[in-house]
Structure 1
Amino acid sequence: MNTIMKKYFPEFTQEFIEVEEGIKINTLVAGQGNEAILLLHGHPESYLIWRGIASQLAQNYKVVLTDLRGYGDSSKPEGLDNHSNYSKRVMALDQVKVMEKLGINKFHLVGHDRGARVAHRLILDHSDKILTCIMMDILPTYDMYEQTNREFATKYWHWFFYIQPKPFPETFLGSNPDYFIRRNLLNKATSDSVKDMFPQDVLEEYIRHYSDPRCVHAISEDYRASNTIDLEHDKIDRDKTISIPLLVLWGANGVVGNIWNILEGWKKFASNVSGFAVENCGHFVPEEQPQIVLKAILDFLKKR
């Protein structure tokens, strides 16, 4: 366990869990509760986004943090021609296998950004595994592509840059990792204390990962999959209704919440959904307002 893990997650133990031959998922585990919670991070980050939440959750639940395939310290395989090894179906199955190897058959699921997209596919493919789900700052990928407008394309330009054929995005996005990470994170955060929310050691850890060309390639493959094979899977499942309890949160000052009606959007696909905008918050909801998110998670789980 490295220094930053010890600083922010002192009670957690680390494992690298093999989910298929040659693919290992960086996993942190803590807590003694009867029920388990799996937390999935977003782009361009790692399990570190949960540093203001995870330890408190572990007081009452068994908490599992992972780096998604291709991110953080998890394996970063070369993308296949059809991007299928970075499909959300495969990335979701990674997480199911992690939980199974930990002896956990049912669990609560929490995801932000890319992690929420993996969570969406996970509850479509493995609903029997999920007790409840919380997704932050997204609508279904299919809807966001179909309803893209100039504002979204301008502010979420990386969605359309990453999907270009390799090695175009890898070459440019990987050329200055320090600049990319700082600009990406600090520009999308809108709460009052940005420096407090992204301390230097956390930024440096995100920069460390993004400095690895394999990570930039893997992230590009994640987005390429979202624009190809994931849309094929999502189109097939458009008529599926999510019946498990679902909570959706979004940043009141964020791009997604300002363009779309998040709650009404999810009500088209879920029969038991609630949610609200997190005030004084942009895109990085768990990092910008961890205490609000923590309370929302705990309140939601108590009500189910």
Structure 2
Amino acid sequence: MFDGFQLDRVTVGEVTLRVRHGGSGPAVVLLHGHPRTHTTWYQVAPALASDFTVVCPDLRGYGQSDKPAADDAHTQYSKRAMAGDVVQLMTSLGHDRFAVVGHDRGSYVAYRTALDHPDRVSKLVVMDGVPVVEALERCTDKFAAMWWHWWFFAQTAKPAERVICADPETWYNAWTSNGPDVLGPENHADFLAAIRNPATVHAMVEDYRAGLGIDRQADEKDRADGRQITCPTMMLWSERDDMEEIYGNPLDVWRPWCPQIVGHGIDSTHHIAENAPLELVRSLRGFLR
């Protein structure tokens, strides 16, 4: 995987991130979702590397990046903290301005990076996600039924980690819908190593706990203050997932946050980078140039 890319560990404040980077041209950082690692981009990153310098970290808590202990507010796993990691990482690699692409949980980190650091982000792409506060305020019985894991992961009195770690490979469908034939052998091996590590599972759940509290509060304050995303923004969503079923046109949810947003659906199941890499690369290259 990642022919011509360099694999490093880069310290950014309180954590050290595992990061893969390569290519040449304007910088773009690709942020994975749950429960993936940076290797989810193994088909996308090399295809972009002829036009861009591509940076793929494991988010804090995920994969082989550090997993700091969390306080009661789960501050260490807030999207603000993760966005700070992204900015420090790109500074360390010599990139003052860069585009940010995020999928799933990575989309929350991506838009938080654009909101908190508008001077650093040249373009933003969010995939299969809307602002946390918008998702929670639109919570219906349909949303709760489809996204029940948000509430399950948030429990601390009866921690979700105990259930997941009892049989992580079954929980994460590691030999069915997330098998090596779908993820690719090397990407699958990295995914397996992550979900088999109880510390990683705990950190991934902490990400969700932050989402229902401190991340929502950050969104609420931004909205009350009238803050918007000012850089060019694109949203992509999986047409064979549930975004349209829950939100109708997802762009309508995003417009109060970035009025000039563009985007479209892609014929894919949820993990677009693995299921529809060619179409994703075409969409990203056309927007990021």
User: Shorter chain as normaliser: what TM range?
Assistant: over 0.9
C-alpha deviations, 1:29-52, integer Å up to 9, x for none?
A: 10122x101000000001111111
Give the C-alpha shift of residue 205 in structure 1.
Answer: 2.1
Kindly indicate whether the alpha-carbon contact (under 8 Å) linking 2:34 and 2:104 is maintained by their aligned counterparts in 1.
yes
Kindly indicate whether the alpha-carbon contact (under 8 Å) linking 1:174 and 1:211 is maintained by their aligned counterparts in 2.
yes
**Residue of structure 2 in register with 1:215 after alignment:** 200
How far apart are the structure 2 equivalents of 1:78 and 1:19?
Answer: 16
Q: TM-score, normalised by structure 1?
A: 0.90
Change in 2 beyond 3 A, CA 1:140/1:18:
same
Kindly indicate whether the alpha-carbon contact (under 8 Å) linking 1:152 and 1:255 is maintained by their aligned counterparts in 2.
no
Give the counterpart letter for 1:86 in structure 2: Y
Kindly indicate whether the alpha-carbon contact (under 8 Å) linking 1:137 and 1:285 is maintained by their aligned counterparts in 2.
no
**Residue of structure 1 in register with 2:20 after alignment:** 28
Give the C-alpha shift of residue 210 in structure 1.
Answer: 1.1
Kindly indicate whether the alpha-carbon contact (under 8 Å) linking 2:180 and 2:188 is maintained by their aligned counterparts in 1.
no
**Residue of structure 2 in register with 1:174 after alignment:** 165
**Residue of structure 2 in register with 1:98 after alignment:** 89
How far apart are the structure 2 equivalents of 1:52 and 1:276?
Answer: 21
**Residue of structure 1 in register with 2:109 after alignment:** 118
**Residue of structure 2 in register with 1:3 after alignment:** none
3-state DSSP of counterpart to 2:190: helix
Relative to structure 2, which stretch is displaced further, 147-156 or 95-104? Answer: 147-156
Kindly indicate whether the alpha-carbon contact (under 8 Å) linking 2:42 and 2:187 is maintained by their aligned counterparts in 1.
no
Q: TM-score, normalised by structure 2?
A: 0.94
3-state DSSP of counterpart to 1:133: strand
**Residue of structure 1 in register with 2:263 after alignment:** 275
Kindly indicate whether the alpha-carbon contact (under 8 Å) linking 1:16 and 1:26 is maintained by their aligned counterparts in 2.
yes
Relative to structure 2, which stretch is displaced further, 176-185 or 154-163? Answer: 176-185
**Residue of structure 2 in register with 1:130 after alignment:** 121
Counterparts of residues 224-263 of structure 1 (less than 5 Å) = 224-238=209-223, 239-260=226-247, 261-263=249-251
Identical-residue share of aligned pairs (%) = 34
> C-alpha root-mean-square deviation of aligned residues, in Å?
1.7
Aligned residues: 286
**Residue of structure 2 in register with 1:162 after alignment:** 153
Give the C-alpha shift of residue 113 in structure 1.
Answer: 0.5
**Residue of structure 2 in register with 1:5 after alignment:** none
Q: Pick one of 79, 95, 98 that aligns with 1:88.
A: 79
**Residue of structure 2 in register with 1:191 after alignment:** none
Q: Does 1:57 align with 2:48?
A: yes
Kindly indicate whether the alpha-carbon contact (under 8 Å) linking 2:238 and 2:269 is maintained by their aligned counterparts in 1.
yes
Kindly indicate whether the alpha-carbon contact (under 8 Å) linking 1:181 and 1:203 is maintained by their aligned counterparts in 2.
no
Q: Does 1:17 align with 2:10?
A: yes
**Residue of structure 2 in register with 1:4 after alignment:** none
Change in 2 beyond 3 A, CA 1:227/1:273:
same
**Residue of structure 2 in register with 1:78 after alignment:** 69
Change in 2 beyond 3 A, CA 1:201/1:28:
closer
